[in-house]
Amino acid sequence: MKPILIAANWKMHKTLSEGQELTSTLINWLRRQKTSELQIILLPSFIHLTAIHSLLASDLPLALGAQNCHDKASGAFTGEVSSAMLASAGVQYVLVGHSERRGVYQEDHEVLAAKVDAALAEGIRPIFCCGEPSHERTQHTHEAYIVKQLEKSLLHLSPAQLAQVIIAYEPVWAIGTGHIPDADAIAAMQKSIRAVIARRYTPSLAEDVRLLYGGSCNAQNVQSFLAIEGVDGVLVGNASVQAKDFLPLLEAVL
């Protein structure tokens, strides 16, 4: 059985010592559990990646991810971080297309496609986020909206490349709000995502691609998301930032 993926998006939270303390707490918890059912991916700020990486141990199911990367390999881009830099800091995963990047930083389909390519070129697995704003759901256009996000930024990949991508379905209106779609709606969307991949590639690749749900996931509701057919894990924001919220969430999964 493949482990359940739990990606912890710390966003712009936590100082260095707070991030180190949470990581150490998680490591102690994992050592006590001895579980092989989980794979946790920590997504701290760029400047803390190296310090957090130095705490990780290869026998634990705890990996490092970044929240963003630049779309070019290198160059005169002041203040930016390339995927080669991330790989050299021990990063194995990177978020691409989070709704905050799409919305606040106006990242479009083309730049996100280039970020996916840049990450894969360095052996980093993109966690590609897709999700509709609320008006798309009320107008029943949410499925077409997600298909377009996939078409424009992911479906140019070769089958071997796509197999490296983790797709996170995160309805924009569910992020940080406490509002969540019902289980049938999440299942329907996961099914549509796999159907698009099956049509463009093969049914077996569609089955193998790892799909996450994200948006207001916490200790109380995580089991209900993981019980949905096709959901391989969760992308957690707020509930991943404090040990008092994150450890109960992990305990609820086991």
Helices 183-200 and 142-153 pack at an angle, to 10 degrees, of 40
Report the alpha-carbon distance of residue 19 to residue 147 in Å, rounded.
Answer: 36
Determine which helix (DSSP H) or strand (DSSP E) holds 161, and give its type and residue range.
Answer: helix 159-162
Which residue in the set 117, 132, 170, 232 belongs to the binding site for ligand PGA (CB under 6 A)? 170
CB of 160 to ligand PGA, least distance (A): 27
Q: How far is the CB of 175 from ligand PGA (least distance, A)?
A: 4
- Smallest gap from residue 200 Cβ to ligand PGA (A): 26
CA distance 251 to 254: 5
Is residue 248 a contact point for ligand PGA (CB under 6 A)? Answer: no
Size of the site for ligand PGA (CB under 6 A): 13
Computed on alpha carbons and rounded to an integer, the radius of gyration of the chain in Å comes to 17
Contacting ligand PGA within 130-159 (CB under 6 A): none
Token readout for 186 is 């999440």
Q: Which residue in 155, 176, 198, 205 binds ligand PGA (CB under 6 A)?
A: 176
Among residues 211, 236, 249, 250, which is the contact residue for ligand PGA, using CB under 6 A? 236
With vertex at residue 65, the alpha carbon angle to CA 62 and CA 67, rounded to the nearest 5 degrees, is 145
Widest Cα–Cα separation across the chain: 48
Residue 195 CA to its chain's centroid (Å): 20
For residue 170, indicate whether it is catalytic: yes
Q: How many helices (H) and strands (E) does the chain have?
A: 12, 8
Binding part of the chain for ligand PGA, among 24-32, 109-117, 149-157, 215-223 by CB under 6 A, reads 215-223
Backbone angles phi, psi at 144, to 5 degrees: -60, -35
Active-site residue, selected from the candidate residues 48, 70, 98, 142: 98
Of the residues 100, 132, 143, 170, which is catalytic?
170
State whether residue 182 is helix, strand or coil.
Answer: coil
Restricting to residues 38-57, name those near ligand PGA by CB under 6 A: none
Distance CA 210, CA 58 (A): 22
Kindly state the smallest distance separating residue 99's Cβ from ligand PGA, in Å: 7
| C-beta of 82 vs 216, nearer to ligand PGA | 216
Q: Minimum distance from CB of 180 to ligand PGA (Å)?
A: 9
The residue ranges of DSSP E strands in 67-152, in sequence order, are 93-96, 125-130
CB of 118 to ligand PGA, least distance (A): 21
The residue among 97 and 230 lying less far from ligand PGA, judged by its C-beta, is 97
Q: Which is nearer to ligand PGA, 77 or 105 (CB)?
A: 105
Catalytic residues: 98, 170
Write out the residues near ligand PGA by the rule CB under 6 A: 9, 170, 175-176, 214-217, 235-239
